[in-house]
Structure 1
Amino acid sequence: MTLSIAVLAFVTLQRLAELWLARRNTRRLMARGAVEVGAAHYPAIVGLHAAWLIGLWLLTWDKPVSLAWLIVFAALQLARVWVIASLGERWTTRIIILPGAPNVRRGPYQFIPHPNYLVVAAEIAVLPIAFDQWLFAVVFSIMNALVLRHRIRAEDAAMAIDP
């Protein structure tokens, strides 16, 4: 197995595991009375991330990987774990509001708003760059920014209603 395939397999399995975790957390939150906000844009997020991952497989499975950029990507994975651990059972891929529960203010959330989206935006750029796919990184970064613009507005509005 080449390093390229190993990296892509890792990211694919990681994302599938995260989807499982997100669904489990969503079910548990909804059972406690949580509500979803901004569901209309969720398919666009899923589609964007699926297209990003499929595109990477198609373009890079047989390409060399820059170890320097791979180290940057690995650091982003540590940040991703910190974000998920900080949110705990509240981490999900959807905007789920649990009435009466305070907004999370620990981990990276004590320093910056929306650290998860910052990590994801960096990942969307860095992994393609690790494979020398700069145009791919730019195109998906722009598309992600457009989706996140809407998502962050919806999330901020929901969190302001029920801080």
Structure 2
Amino acid sequence: MTIPASLLALIAAMGVVRLVELTTARRNARWAFAHGGVEYGRRQYPVMVALHVCLLVGTVAEVALTGRAFAPATGWPALAFLVLTQAGRAWCMRTLGPRWNIRVIVVPGLPPVTTGPYRLLRHPNYLIVLCEGIALPLVHTAWITALLFTLANTAWLVVRVRTENALLWPAAGPAAAGGPPRPVMAEAGERGSPGGGAA
């Protein structure tokens, strides 16, 4: 079983990116809780972590077990696309500032962010994650990992987006039917719960 040094370097770089995201999320969570934030969807978080660990481990394992070589025709475009996804995530994080997180933390009274990439999409960071999950494995032709991660992550995103939408746009929830108003949040890793992403 041979693992290309270039793949190990790429996985290590992505591991560093994930650590930076975790550190940023923890710092922002402290900010959110200090401003009265309340966390929702806690059960979703460990699933997300497991998915992203499997993406990194699966990419290495598939290349090692199949012996696939780097294919320039797909590898270089995939790498370029992967770099673009990191730039996109940085744009999301910069736009949200301390409101970016990978958890769903609600600070009552804060409206959704509508600047930067959020002028175009409700959930730009989650689109970035989907693209990243395809591009990263395909740099070294690990298409099975790309497919499995995309399917599993899409199922997880359906649950996460529903949770965040219900908190971000309370008019679609009980308040619209005359029930008590819901707190407004800036979503986790997306609209950025003030205090996600990532992942």
TM-score range, shorter chain: over 0.9
User: Partner of 1:121 in structure 2?
Assistant: 130
- Rg: which structure is higher? 2
> Which whole-Å CA distance do the structure 2 matches of 1:52 and 1:148 have between them?
15
> Which whole-Å CA distance do the structure 1 matches of 2:147 and 2:159 have between them?
19
Unaligned runs of at least 5 residues, structure 1: none
Per the normalisation by structure 2, the TM-score is 0.77
Deviation at 1:43, TM superposition (A): 1.3
User: Partner of 1:33 in structure 2?
Assistant: 36
Percent identity over the alignment?
A: 36
Secondary structure of 1:39's counterpart equals coil
> Which whole-Å CA distance do the structure 1 matches of 2:63 and 2:136 have between them?
10
- AA paired with 1:53? L
Deviation at 1:96, TM superposition (A): 1.2
Q: 1:95 aligns with which of 99, 104, 128?
A: 104
Is 1:37–1:158's contact at 8 Å kept on the other side of the alignment?
A: no
Q: 2:16 aligns with which of 6, 13, 25?
A: 13
- How many aligned residue pairs are there? 163
- AA paired with 2:82? F
Per the normalisation by structure 1, the TM-score is 0.93
Unaligned runs of at least 5 residues, structure 2: 171-182, 185-199
Deviation at 1:2, TM superposition (A): 2.9
Could you say what the CA RMSD is over the residues aligned between the two structures, in angstroms? 1.7
Is 2:39–2:104's contact at 8 Å kept on the other side of the alignment?
A: yes
Is 2:37–2:108's contact at 8 Å kept on the other side of the alignment?
A: yes
Is 2:118–2:124's contact at 8 Å kept on the other side of the alignment?
A: yes
Is 2:137–2:146's contact at 8 Å kept on the other side of the alignment?
A: yes
- Aligned structure 1 segments of 4 or more residues deviating by more than 6 angstroms: none
Secondary structure of 1:36's counterpart equals strand
Is 1:86–1:107's contact at 8 Å kept on the other side of the alignment?
A: yes
> Which whole-Å CA distance do the structure 2 matches of 1:139 and 1:110 have between them?
31
Secondary structure of 2:39's counterpart equals strand
> Which whole-Å CA distance do the structure 2 matches of 1:2 and 1:91 have between them?
33
Is 1:25–1:90's contact at 8 Å kept on the other side of the alignment?
A: yes
